[in-house]
Amino acid sequence: MATWDDVRRIALALPESGEKLSWGTPSWHVRGKGFVWDRPLHKSDLAALGDDAPDGPILGVRVADEGVKQALIADDPAVYFTIPHFDGYPAVLVLLDRIGVPELAEVITEAWLLRAPKKLAREFLAEH
């Protein structure tokens, strides 16, 4: 299953991507716009999730909209989930130790495409 090294490798391979610390944890951005980030659960998240709170590394991923977020969660709730903090926000949480690297690459690339400038995204898609 995927690791932070996989996240870093995939994210930084995308054009004009960079890594920085945000609130003490790594995040990846394209031209200053974040697309994926380390999102450990906080006390309020754990309280809200109760016994359903997952264990292990969690990646936050930008998605197009709430519909995409809900579709990912419905399709594979063992991998994708959300917390009340992200209600109404276009992002989903991913359990890294439960997602395969090919699927991880797909969600990271989709998140990058959403945040990259349109011209850069078009150029990337034309090459791939």
Please write the tens of the pLDDT for every residue from 57-80.
999 999 999 999 999 999 999 999
Q: Is residue 55 part of a domain?
A: yes
Q: Is residue 60 part of a domain?
A: yes
Please write the tens of the pLDDT for every residue from 49-58.
888 889 899 9
Please write the tens of the pLDDT for every residue from 73-124.
999 999 999 999 999 999 999 999 999 999 999 999 999 999 999 999 999 9
- Pairing relation of β-strands 58-62 and 91-95? antiparallel
The CATH number of residue 60's host domain is 3.90.1150.30
Q: Is residue 81 part of a domain?
A: yes
Q: Is residue 124 part of a domain?
A: no
Which domain, by its residues, includes 112? 4-43+51-118
Q: Is residue 19 part of a domain?
A: yes
- Do the beta carbons of residue 95 and residue 79 sit within 8 Å? yes
Q: How many domains does the chain have?
A: 1
Predicted confidence band at 23 (pLDDT cuts at 50, 70, 90)?
A: confident
